[in-house]
Amino acid sequence: MAFDRLLNVARKEFSDHITSRRFIIILALFLVISAVSIHDGIENYNNSLESYNDQLQRMEEFQDPYTSWMPEKPSIMYVFISMMSYMAALGGILALAIGFDLVSKEKESRSLKTLLSHPIYRDEIINGKVLGGVGALGFAMGLALALAVAMLLLFSIVPTLDEFAAILIFGAASLGFLLAYFAIALTMSTVAKESGNALIYTLVIFAIVTSLLPMFGMMAANAFAGDPPEPPEMGPMATEVVHTASGGGYTVTSSRSVAVSGSGSPEIDPAWREYEEEMRAYVEKRQLINDVSNILSPQMNYYQVAMAVTNPQISMMSSYMYGGATQEDPGGLADALGRVWMNIAALIVFPAVFFAATYVKFMRMDIR
């Protein structure tokens, strides 16, 4: 495989993508919706910031007795939560539109046979097509992020160095999500003889990994985990607050019930302690079954990674609710990404598997 010929194929594919009418229309719609979502996110951020300032002022004026608790200052990354939802919907369509006829249209027009008659090898063609498609999706993602940062600066919101790094990681996770669906479309384009069939196959797999797999995971969790344990029957109960955390307008409080002794002092009931252990094991079992199916869905993996970047506090609370370690501080960006390392790995492995399948199929394909 010659690197110069590979780059020539990639350059041609990239040029064909960004100049095609289909790509331009979808990209324009993608950027418009991204701008609208960023505008909504900026408005929500400003409201959260105003609420944060009001809470600080109230604590200073009225000498709030809960002086040890401080409200969390909203992060700029909250702006990208709305963009995440639109990315999962329209971004996937953009990736499918790029790849579903990338090979099948060349088979239909017989141009693939003509191309192979030149001094160029099959691996250079398929790898060049992959690189061209990745470049086009990277170009679209780069425009969306540039537009988002420009709108932040326009509203006098300047990201810090850490927040700028988080924005880049959010963009990388979004690109990985787009590559997953591009890989599916490219594989179906290589397998199918016609572009129409390739589109149908692509949409079927798209529906399976986005909707059916998460639904199947919930059904499997309900079936294999069984019914939840029943709480014990006890007398008068008091509630002991164990952990409270808040951030971004969300508050999660965990508590346990304790029995009230004759002296009025609360004591943890052994039956209730056993119930808590059984409930924790039940929740962990359900979550394990659900995660096995969700790990095959690029959409669910993208949601997990993007949420860890845009709102680490909520990601940490979710991890705590499903049996993770209790932690008051969600930590930095590295800690947030460490909690979703399996989802990050899945976003890398998923498109790699389909790209490998495409390579093998294309190298063994009978072109006549």
Contact 192, 198 (CB under 8 A): yes
Single-letter residue type at 339:
R
**Average of per-residue pLDDT values in the chain:** 77
Beta-ladder partners of 253: 244
Q: What is the pLDDT averaged over residues 141-158? A: 88
Q: Let me know if residue 316 belongs to a domain.
A: no
Distance CA 315, CA 47 (A): 22
Structural domain range at position 42: 3-225+338-363
Q: Let me know if residue 309 belongs to a domain.
A: no
pLDDT of residue 316: 57
pLDDT level of residue 355 (50, 70, 90 thresholds): very high
Q: What percent of the chain has pLDDT over 90?
A: 10
Q: What is the DSSP string of 108-137?
A: HTTHHHHHHTSS--HHHHHHHHHHHHHHHH
Q: Let me know if residue 160 belongs to a domain.
A: yes
Q: Let me know if residue 287 belongs to a domain.
A: no
pLDDT at residue 323 tops 70: no
Q: What is the DSSP string of 335-356?
A: HHHHTTHHHHHHHHHHHHHHHH
pLDDT at residue 246 tops 60: no
- Of the candidates 251, 233, 232, the one whose C-alpha atom is nearest the C-alpha of residue 243 is 251
Q: Let me know if residue 57 belongs to a domain.
A: yes
Q: Let me know if residue 262 belongs to a domain.
A: no
Beta-ladder partners of 260: 266
pLDDT tens digits, 152-192: 888 888 888 888 888 899 999 999 999 999 999 999 988 88
- Kindly state the DSSP code that residue 322 receives in the 8-state scheme: T
Min mean pLDDT across 24-38, 53-67, 151-165, 335-349 is at 53-67
Task: Look at the chain and report how many structural domains it folds into.
Answer: 1
Chain centre distance of CA 87: 9
Q: pTM (2 decimals)? A: 0.76
- Of the candidates 82, 77, 67, the one whose C-alpha atom is nearest the C-alpha of residue 248 is 77
pLDDT of residue 291: 73
Q: Let me know if residue 306 belongs to a domain.
A: no
Q: Let me know if residue 237 belongs to a domain.
A: no
pLDDT of residue 269: 66
